[in-house]
C-alpha cells in the first residue's frame, strides 16, 4: 500500500529486472493482470496498480483526470526509486499511460496500448458519458452490469461465462464516486496522437477485430505514418479474457526487444 496525498493506493510488486508497470481499464482492477504477472515476473519486475477509485485504491477527488492518475503513478515510482518503466495500459489504462508519457517522458522505456486509443472522446461519446453518470447516480449496480455485459458479444458470453461473471463481480465493487470520477476524467481527456508520431521510445498498439469500444479502423488511422507496431487480433475489447495467450505472447515478444 502506498499513500498519495492522503489517499491509499494499492499495488503489487513482484519479480526482478527491468520494470513493467501494468494499468487496468475502467471498472477493472489490477487483478485482471494476474496471469500476465505470472508470465512476466520470471523476467521482469512487474508492478500492477489499482488506479484511483478502482480496486483497493481510494478515491482522490470528484474527477480523476488522466493527468491525476499519471501524477499518482509518478509519485509511486518515485517512492520506489524507479527510473524507467515499460508501461502497459488496457483501455482507460492506456489513456493514463499516454498522460504519463506526455508528463514524464524521461521515465518511459517502452509503451504498450491494449485496446486503447490516443484520441479524445467524440462529442457523441461525451454525451454518452454524461448519460452514464446519471444512470450511475440512480442505480450503480445496474450500470455496472450493463457496461460489463456490453463489452462482450454473444459468442464470447458462450465461451467465457465464468470469466465475464468474475469481471462483473469485481466491477460491482467499484465505488460510485470512483465510477463517476473516471467517467468525468475520460470525458475531458485530450488528444495525444502526437505522442504516437514524435515520441522516441518503442510503441506497440494491440487492437481487436471486433472491439466495439475502440474500433479497429480508428487504431489503424492513428498508427498510419508512425513507427508504432500494430498487432491485430481476433475478439473484442477485453482481449485479456478473449485472447489472453495471444496477448501475452505479443507483449512478451515486444518486451524482449524493447523492455
pLDDT digit string, tens, across residues 195-252:
999 999 999 999 999 999 999 999 999 999 999 999 999 999 999 999 999 999 999 9
Please check whether residue 19 is in contact with residue 44, taking contact to mean a CB–CB distance below 8 angstroms.
Answer: yes
- Taking only the tens place, the pLDDT of each residue in 53-95 is 999 999 998 999 999 999 999 999 999 999 999 999 999 999 9
Q: What is the largest CA-CA distance in the chain?
A: 48
CB neighbourhood size of 68 (10 A): 21
H-run or E-run covering 73 = helix 66-79
From the list 140, 142, 170, the residue with the least C-alpha distance to 50 is 170
pTM above 0.85, yes or no: yes
Taking only the tens place, the pLDDT of each residue in 139-157 is 999 999 999 999 999 889 9
pLDDT of residue 259: 65
Rounded CA separation 13/21 (Å): 9
Q: How far, in Å, CA of 216 to CA of 213, rounded?
A: 9
Amino acid at each position: 500500500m502506498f499513500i498519495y496525498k492522503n489517499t491509499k493506493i494499492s499495488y503489487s510488486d513482484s519479480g526482478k529486472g527491468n520494470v513493467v508497470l501494468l494499468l487496468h481499464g475502467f471498472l477493472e482492477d489490477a487483478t485482471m493482470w494476474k496471469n500476465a504477472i505470472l508470465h512476466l515476473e520470471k523476467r521482469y519486475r512487474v508492478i500492477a496498480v489499482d488506479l484511483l477509485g478502482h480496486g483497493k485504491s481510494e478515491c482522490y477527488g470528484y474527477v480523476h483526470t488522466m493527468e491525476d492518475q499519471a501524477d499518482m503513478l509518478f509519485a509511486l515510482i518515485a517512492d520506489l526509486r524507479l527510473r524507467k518503466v515499460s508501461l502497459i495500459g488496457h483501455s482507460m489504462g492506456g489513456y493514463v499511460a499516454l498522460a504519463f508519457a506526455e508528463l514524464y517522458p524521461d521515465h518511459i522505456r517502452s509503451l504498450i496500448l491494449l485496446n486503447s486509443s490516443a484520441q479524445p472522446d467524440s462529442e457523441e461519446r461525451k454525451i454518452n458519458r454524461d448519460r452514464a453518470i446519471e444512470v450511475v447516480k440512480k442505480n450503480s449496480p445496474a450500470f455496472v452490469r450493463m457496461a460489463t455485459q456490453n463489452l462482450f458479444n454473444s459468442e464470447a458470453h458462450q465461451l467465457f461465462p465464468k470469466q465475464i461473471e468474475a469481471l462483473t463481480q469485481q466491477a460491482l465493487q467499484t465505488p460510485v464516486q470512483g465510477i463517476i470520477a473516471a467517467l468525468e476524467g475520460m470525458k475531458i481527456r485530450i488528444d495525444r496522437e502526437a505522442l504516437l508520431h514524435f515520441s522516441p521510445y518503442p510503441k506497440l498498439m494491440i487492437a481487436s477485430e471486433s472491439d466495439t469500444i475502440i474500433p479497429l479502423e480508428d487504431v489503424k488511422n492513428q498508427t498510419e505514418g508512425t513507427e508504432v507496431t500494430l498487432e491485430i487480433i481476433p475478439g473484442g475489447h477485453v482481449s485479456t479474457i478473449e485472447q489472453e495467450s495471444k496477448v501475452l505472447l505479443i507483449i512478451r515478444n515486444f518486451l524482449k526487444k524493447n523492455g
